[in-house]
Amino acid sequence: MIDNELTELLQRVKNGDRLAVESIYRQYYSVVYAFVCMQVNDVGAAEEIVDDVFMVVFTSANSFRGQSTFKTWVLGIAKNLSRNWLRKIGREPSNQFDSTEDQLAGLIDPDWPALEQLEREELNVIIQFCMTRLPLFQRETLFYVYFEDLSLEQVAQTLGCPSGTIKSRLFHAKTKMAECVNRRMADGVA
């Protein structure tokens, strides 16, 4: 699962090439930051965790074996460091999904008739609110499927559970999201 360009970049990182480090950082920063923010509801902590993730990535580049995609490997590190931080401060994973409009825009179907009733910003507020109501394992599943375009099998491998479990989580998450969004729209609440 490792392509030639990534192999070359990782070799350059191992050799101390600053441009290769910057290239990987720029390419993966936004997805790692969004993922960490989904785990912890503390912007300062999220920034520190992201920095720690990249420190691990760059100091452990030798340990990437290509058994998963590089992005999956990096997000696995982010998940572990986020959980370590939460354990350290004695908190549960965040139920707040503090995200930008762009990070949630992928959940919106442009052909959905309700978009004619609400401005995009109001719909995103509703989607953000409804995301906070999902359990973390369902948010993670939505993240990987809709934001990272991973297949159900890839998500199952990433999260270490059967693909049937991922399919079930995705179904229930989409059902809960639809119910919540429809309820909020019917009530006229953003």
pLDDT bin (cut points 50, 70, 90) of residue 120 is low
Longest alpha-carbon distance in the chain:
58
Domains and CATH numbers, the chain: 4-89 (1.10.1740.10), 101-187 (1.10.10.10)
Three-state SS letters, the chain: CCCHHHHHHHHHHHCCCHHHHHHHHHHHHHHHHHHHHHHCCCHHHHHHHHHHHHHHHHHCHHHCCCCCCHHHHHHHHHHHHHHHHHHHHCCCCCCCCCCCHHHHHHHCCCCCHHHHCCCHHHHHHHHHHHHHCCCHHHHHHHHHHHHCCCCHHHHHHHHCCCHHHHHHHHHHHHHHHHHHHHHHHHHCCC
Q: What is the pLDDT of residue 101?
A: 45
How far is it, in rounded angstroms, from Cα 108 to Cα 115?
Answer: 9
Q: What is the pLDDT of residue 166?
A: 92
121, pLDDT greater than 80: no
* pLDDT tens-place string over residues 79-119: 889 888 888 887 655 544 444 444 444 444 445 444 343 35
Amino acid letter at 80?
N
